[in-house]
Amino acid sequence: MYRQDNDRPAVPVTMHALVLVVLGHLAARRRDYAGAGRLVDASRALLRELRDDDLTGFDRLQQQVALGTVDRVLGLVRLSQGDNDAAARLFTGGLAVARRAQDWNPLLISLYDLALARQAQGDLAGAAGHLQEGLALAAQAGDETSAAYYLEVLAGIAGAQDNPQRAVRLFAAARSILDARGSGWLHAFVPRVPPDDAALAALRSRIGDTAFEQAQAWGRSAGSTRAVEYALQQA
């Protein structure tokens, strides 16, 4: 490993740490949580070797982003293990770093992650707030596929809040956007859980065949802009 001395400049240390945390993320996606933890711990140790005066300006920001990414990957591990409170704390730290960086990619990832943790904690209102913020950001950036992934989770929230018609509309709108625009990039970084046939069948049984078909038709025809406007309305 790199150690901070005269022969080990700070920027390569940061880059090495970023590589380790990306490998940790890939391990977590494979459900190799022990391996992910080792890689992320090694990344965190490298970043913490840097002194406050080792980096300035953009390089300092990159170090902070790397630390935020470490928290996010550890949060994914904790969320997968059912430690929802720890996951929420870690995702909150990652979101704070993303806000300071003012970079919409990390913001979209962090808001999505934290929303899932809040949902797992049973805080549906908190989850919806993070999702609506991320959805508005995706729409502002013209990122329709990321908006669709946010619509999916908002649909799940609507179903849990006893609003099955809204859930069906949002699920259908998300699927229509992804069918038209492709899969995009966000799904590679977040633990997406798309609706399955059983979830849709349960929604159909709650509202009946006619209302279900009408809600699906609305979602399929709404288009991205109208679907986002609808999703940003209070349920």
pLDDT, position 5: 43
Phi-psi group of 208: left, alpha or beta (phi > 0 → left; psi -120 to 50 → alpha; rest → beta) = left
- Specify whether 133 is located in the same domain as 223: yes
Same domain, 53 and 142: no
232 Cβ neighbours under 8 A, 6+ residues apart: 132, 135, 136
pLDDT at 164: 97
pTM for the whole structure:
0.86
Would you say 145 and 184 are in contact if contact means Cβ atoms under 8 Å apart?
yes
Residue 12, SS3 per DSSP: helix
Res 58: pLDDT: 64
The answer to whether residue 109 is domain-embedded is no
Q: What CATH code is carried by the domain that includes residue 57?
A: 1.20.58
2 confidence band (pLDDT: 50, 70, 90): very low
**More reliable by pLDDT, 12 or 5:** 12
How far is it, in rounded angstroms, from Cα 235 to Cα 233? 6
pLDDT band, residue 11 (cuts 50/70/90): low
Print the domain residue range for 190: 124-235
Q: Is residue 117 part of a domain?
A: no
Is 114 part of any domain?
Answer: no
**Alpha-carbon gap, residue 117 to 78, rounded angstroms:** 10
Q: pLDDT (tens digit, 9 = 90+) per residue, 114-158?
A: 999 999 999 999 999 999 999 999 999 999 999 999 999 999 999
Packing angle, helices 57-80 and 33-49, rounded to 10: 160
- Residue-level pLDDT at 211: 97
Whether residue 232 has pLDDT greater than 60: yes
Phi–psi pair at 37, nearest 5 degrees:
-60, -40
Residue 86 binned pLDDT confidence (cut-offs 50, 70, 90): very high
pLDDT of 209 above 60:
yes
* Angstrom distance (rounded) from CA 93 to CA 87: 10
State whether 169 and 63 are in the same domain. Answer: no
Q: Are 158 and 201 in contact (CB under 8 A)?
A: no
Number of domains in the chain: 2
Residue 115 lies in a domain: no
In a domain, 119, yes or no: no
Domain-located, residue 207: yes
Q: Are residues 71 and 156 in the same domain?
A: no
Do 215 and 128 reside in the same domain of the chain? yes
Q: Distance between CA atoms of 40 and 72, rounded to whole angstroms?
A: 10
Q: Give the model confidence (pLDDT) of 26-63 as tens digits.
A: 898 888 988 988 998 898 888 877 665 665 666 666 77
Q: What is the mean pLDDT of residues 11-25?
A: 83
Identify whether residues 132 and 73 lie together within a single domain.
no
Asked if residues 26 and 56 have their Cβ atoms less than 8 Å apart, the reply is no
Pair 146, 235 in one domain: yes
Using alpha carbons, select from 100, 81, 8 the residue that is nearest to residue 51: 8
* Count of other CB atoms within 10 angstroms of residue 200: 17
Residues 143 and 77 in one domain: no
Helix axes 104-121, 84-101, angle to 10 degrees: 160
Q: How confident is the model at residue 4 (pLDDT cuts 50, 70, 90)?
A: very low
Please tell me whether residues 98 and 167 are part of one structural domain.
no
In this structure, is residue 118 part of a structural domain? no
Token pair of 181, please?
């625009």
Q: Is residue 172 part of a domain?
A: yes
φ, ψ of residue 142 to 5 degrees: the values are 75, 25
Confidence of residue 18 (pLDDT cuts 50, 70, 90): confident
**Whose CA is closest to 113, among 187, 44, 40?**
187
Both 92 and 132 in a single domain? no
205 or 41, higher pLDDT? 205
